[in-house]
Amino acid sequence: MRRGDFLAGSLAAIGQALEGTLFAEEIGCRPGLLQGLDPRVKIGTFLLLLIAANLSRSLAVLVLLYLLTLLLAWSSRVPLGFFVRRVWIFIPLFTGLIALPAILNIFTPGQPVLVLWPNPLIAVTAQGLRTAAFLLLRVGTSVSFAVLLILTTPWNALLEALGALGVPEAFLLTLAMSYRYIYLLLHTASDMFLSRRSRLVGRPDAAEGRRWLAAAMGALLDRSFQLSNEVYLAMLSQGFRGRPRLIEGFRTRGRDWLWGGVSLSVALGAIYLGS
């Protein structure tokens, strides 16, 4: 791929997005610890663990909770490399920008560990590093629990479980439509870029490329309106009446009660030790 090739880069990005979506759906259907649990119980227990992570004031407890997410991912046959990248590839970019100023004595006074400028004193403080570590670990652990829940639960089962727990149907309808609609829209955009690239000979003029991109954006917008109607009609023809329905209903079994008891004990222990 030539450097600066916009079409090739766009095709690669769209292909990666589609591959990631398909791979995530496949993980939710694998046999594993979390995949075999009742989604309603799973959502409730993960919510307890999220609360424990956000109430904890101990770095050690946060580290243990994060290690718990890795153990759960391994026992649920989620590839650890894929799981870690999915969580930490964006956290340093966004949360790190927020946590970075906190390490300086300007915002968090304390014992200097690294002097950046002697006069006036600008230094990295031990208290600032601790504050930044708390923020990164708390966000990373919380996002890890949320990603693990989504990866190990099929999308329709997740929406059905949310509906059973009292989430408004309008919210579930928006989620269901957005998920399927974005997936089809990515396919359409990929087809447009691929058809354009297959007809190119040589390197196109920059002005011509901008004109084509503007026309493609308009065509994609028009196609998006058509797709939204087609997706909704397809969902209605398959029995959709406001929220997703599963062929087999949820059943709470002994292992679900055991998982709920263990998760409650872990959450209460983390809150107690972290306080």
Q: How confident is the model at residue 109 (pLDDT cuts 50, 70, 90)?
A: confident
153-188 residue pLDDT tens: 888 788 888 887 888 877 877 777 777 777 777 777
Task: Give the number of residues written for the chain.
Answer: 275
d(CA 253, CA 258): 9
d(CA 245, CA 152): 18
| Crossing angle between the packed helical segments 6-28 and 155-164, to the nearest 10 degrees | 60
Residue 238: pLDDT over 80: no
14-18 average pLDDT score: 63
Report the half-sphere exposure of 243 (CA within 13 A, side-chain side).
16
Question: Which among 11, 15, 3, 5 is positioned nearest to 194, based on CA atoms?
Answer: 11
Q: How confident is the model at residue 241 (pLDDT cuts 50, 70, 90)?
A: low
Question: Which among 240, 33, 269, 250 is positioned nearest to 149, based on CA atoms?
Answer: 33
- List for the chain the helix, strand, coil content (%; round to 5): 70, 5, 25
Q: How confident is the model at residue 3 (pLDDT cuts 50, 70, 90)?
A: very low
pTM score of the predicted model:
0.75
183-206 residue pLDDT tens: 777 777 777 777 777 777 767 677
91-104 average pLDDT score: 76
Q: First CA to last CA across the chain, in angstroms?
A: 54
d(CA 133, CA 68): 18
Give the pLDDT of residue 4: 45
Question: Virtual CA dihedral for 212, 218, 222, 223, nearest 10 degrees?
Answer: 40
